[in-house]
Structure 1
């Protein structure tokens, strides 16, 4: 699959068995079928929401292989292949290519707080080893480094396969800065503030919401492309309401925990999260209260989504 990536991609959860001992392939396939039925244009496996730090090498291979085989070219499959070790990141990137992935999403080496030159050499090694298109992932909160617009432009200019970036720096102006400096060498995907990012020139969206509201999360980008900005803001406003409910809790509650529980609420159980992340059951009454409040907003969102013809 060689066409340009565009649209709103789900950064997917990793379905586990109830005892957390293995990837649940049957749940994975049901979840992927749901994504296809809801017209999600692309999916990203083993991102942050996919708990990539909690899976074994064998589980990585199983998850990528089963996903690629089941999707069977119907939509692009991107795979997160980052690691704090350049050697491991290269090996995982080559493996994803060999298993049939359409692209990679790669965050900077985390923990070490690398310099720009160290980041450059990291991506130089990855691009030298395989030829899949790469989506940089700029998330200073988790990687401890912020990819400047200047560095992004340098990487995109020097390495032809570095052609996308998920921009999650929480600096909305960065979208425009990257486009101004990198030009046609890079395509920006919004990682947050989707409407504002679109208006600044982003051409796609990577989000965790597709794990439980895939029709709305994919549809919001189609509304934007159709020029229906205020309709898109209606969808985005409701997403922000339940997002705020999640964000009120302890940081480790996060989208991993709630994404999985809300996927189950939608009829697609995917197990829970692996330690050290807090599971939904461990939230007790507080979690159930938040779930009820989020559910009410999602029900409202479903109505709006239907009214807008999505």
Structure 2
């Protein structure tokens, strides 16, 4: 299948009201406008960063519908439609298609630790139900499932609509392994270590940093594709610095609360996270101290971004 997605995509937080009781559509629209203004080439809703496990079916439909309508074809909108239930994943995928999504991002069924054949049948059912491009999402840290390069190649070669993968296995060599086995059947998006992934053959980037530094997170891909590798490393090095500040205290899920708080720092409040995730106020003084340190690095990043002309 001909690739239609490229560049560095923001995997967006989900905007809630201050009391966490509803999707805040006004906040969503302001945030989407900001993403467009900053040059983000595509956006992914209801990924891990989007707290897809905490939204109701009605909220899911509202979020996708409002996003697609507001973006109005200006950039691709991908939707996370993962579920441990194949039946639910199929239904959510069909719904996203019907609402106008341009593609899907789907992590394999979690909790059950499925076999390769079970994963294969899960995706086969989704593919048979609708024809949108699918980005596999390999994130064993959160799904407890690590899709091998061989399995990815099998899926991509058997199903033309399975044409992308966000590779977040923390095994950087996996990028090259997937490309070697799947060839032109799939396009690899980096889920981490963007510079190294690019040098190994990745053709895009999916990241949460666009929620609060969209110009830098989108621009880094342009630096890479234009051969400005060292400038890209400079940007990536600063991102790694504040990422480490978050991970030191909250290695798995802390980035959601910080992403929302940092979006608010940039002028785009998105509410807080829903339970069971730790809200930013629950982090207490530690959160405020880490936020200040992150903010200082972001200010430095903004200066560098201006210096190199992003």
Give the structure-1-normalised TM-score.
Answer: 0.99
Q: 1:150 to 1:208 in 2, by over 3 A?
A: same
Are the counterparts in 1 of residues 77 and 101 from structure 2 also a CA contact under 8 Å?
yes
Question: Are the equivalent residues in 1 in contact too, given 2:3–2:163 (CA < 8 A)?
Answer: no
1:232 partnered with 2:237: no
What residue in structure 2 maps to residue 207 of structure 1? 207
Deviates more, 1:142-151 or 1:54-63: 142-151
| 1:241 shift after superposition | 0.4
Matching residue of 1:143: 143
Q: 1:2-151 alignment to 2 at 5 Å? A: 4-151=4-151
Structure 1 residue ranges without an equivalent (≥5): none
Contact persistence 2:10–2:42 (CA under 8 A)? yes
Q: Distance in 2 between matches of 1:301 and 1:85?
A: 42
Matching residue of 1:165:
165
The total of aligned residue pairs comes to: 309
Contact 1:195 1:233 in 2 (8 A): yes
CA distance in 2 between partners of 1:204 and 1:30 (Å): 25
RMSD: 0.8
Unaligned runs of 5+ in 2: none
Confirm or deny: 8 A CA contact 2:104 2:133 kept in the other structure: yes
Q: For 1:184 and 1:247, locate their aligned partners in 2 and report how far apart those are by CA, in whole Å.
A: 35
- 1:145 deviates by 1.1
TM-score relative to the length of structure 2: 0.99
Contact conserved, 1:30 with 1:268, CA < 8 A, in 2?
yes
Which residue matches 2:187? 187
CA shift at 1:251, angstroms?
A: 3.6
What is the alpha-carbon distance in structure 1 between the residues aligned to residue 192 and residue 166 of structure 2? Answer: 9
C-alpha distance in 2 between matches for 1:52 and 1:232: 31
- State the secondary structure of the residue aligned to 2:104: strand
CA contact (8 A) 1:10 1:214 kept: yes
Q: What are the superposed Cα offsets for residues 157-200 of structure 1, whole Å, 9 maximum, x if unpaired?
A: 00010000000000000000000000000000000000000000
The alpha-carbon distance between structure 1 residues 144 and 235, as it changes in their structure 2 partners (threshold 3 A), is same
Bigger shift: 241-250 or 72-81? 241-250
1:280 alignment counterpart: 280
Asked whether the equivalents of residues 188 and 204 of structure 2 are also in contact (C-alpha less than 8 Å), the reply is yes
Provide the secondary structure at the position in 2 that maps to 1:146.
Answer: coil
